[in-house]
Structure 1
Amino acid sequence: MNPLLRQGSALLMVVGLTGCAPPDPPVLPAPAAPLGVVAPAREQASNDDDIANRPIEDAPAAPPAAEAAVADDAVPSVVSVALDHAGDVVIGQRFTELAADGPWHSAGLSEGEPAGACEYYERGNLPEGVSMMVEDDHVQRFELAPIEDSYEAITQPGPFGLRLGMTRDEAMQRLPPGSTRAPHAYDPQTGEYLTWQDPGSDLAIRLEIFDGVISKLYWGASGAVELIEGCA
């Protein structure tokens, strides 16, 4: 072979082998520090450090819940009443049987009067705000009326859920059918009596209404309910 051709072929083989060489490996970034690496321990504080001398403070107490404050408020109790009773006291019951349930507070109407004279009592085992009329040692009627305190403090309802301050229309919606109306003895222009008699017993309820609003409410024996002045 011609020497020139031999040298050319050798040069081409070297160039070809050089083009087939593998590329250089890529340069990867340094790996990040693992999450579990523990920070170097903090140097222990000495007695001269501010942290060592700092007092330990307790966590502030949580404020009381609003529900607890509401639960602590005094809520007036409502006691069962009906035409024949108020709480544990029953129409027709002897007061001598109830005397031990005192203390009772009387209006003093029977002072200087013979035994069995009409008297009003409250407290004892009556619901708060309810008084009772006793005559001849028998309970005759109940009334939503304290002897001395203000009527505005009464929260106890009467029979049928009637309350002082209700309107006549509200009372008519609660009373059974058959109520009767009559002018008030002292002020027939603005006042009236609204009375319901139980057809199955000798019990009744009467409301005194002025300007369309209940101002008095009493119930019990029919004859006692019809008394204008309670004892008279």
Structure 2
Amino acid sequence: MKELLLFLSCVLCVSADALHSDIGITGCSDSDGEDMYGLDGEEVWYADFNKQTGVEPLPDFADSIDFPGHYESAAANQQVCKQNLQTLRKMMKDYPLEHVAPSAVMIYTRDEVEFGQKNTLICHVTGFFPAPVNVSWTKNEQKVTESSINVPYPNKDGTFTQISRLQFTPQLGDMYSCTVKHLALTQPLTKIYDVQASGQSDPGVGPAAFCGVGLTVGLLGVAAGTFFLIKGNECS
């Protein structure tokens, strides 16, 4: 199904000791909408129109930024955006909508894997147009619904990036997958994460290897000392 999306964005670059860029986006389609603010490639705030609230997706250790009244403003802008969309649709009815399939789909963990410890699986999708993509998850071939996905973030080439996250507890033998659907794909793209192949190695391997290297270096030192001691006695 073809959808026409209207995106309005502005980028402001400010030079201080380093170059920074912030971006604001308002977008809409017949069935979805987006209003977000970003700084240096990171989402700082976005409107969740399903939950009717603003979201600050930065981690807890980052400084919180208040956006009072922004959700109400974002909701009002959606009405304007959809009116403009109807006008543009009439003007561009014979203009074909470009479809670009995702250029990369990656699956990885947020933290180093420790069996039995809570972690986050990340499905990173980039290089697609138009937005959004649909991302679904499975665990051991069973559908999982407790995932989240951020709003589309624009790349410099005009395509988009989206990241889906799944909270999980790694257990030996479990297998996870994220499947991506997009208008430009003839069939979904699926990436697999195998806990057995990705878990920690035997904890004894590191110390054993370290001790082995230390012993080898020590023996070489003894041999070198003996050699120079004999040479010194010969010279005297």
TM-score, structure 2 as length reference: 0.24
Greater strand share, 1 or 2?
A: 2
TM-score, structure 1 as length reference: 0.25
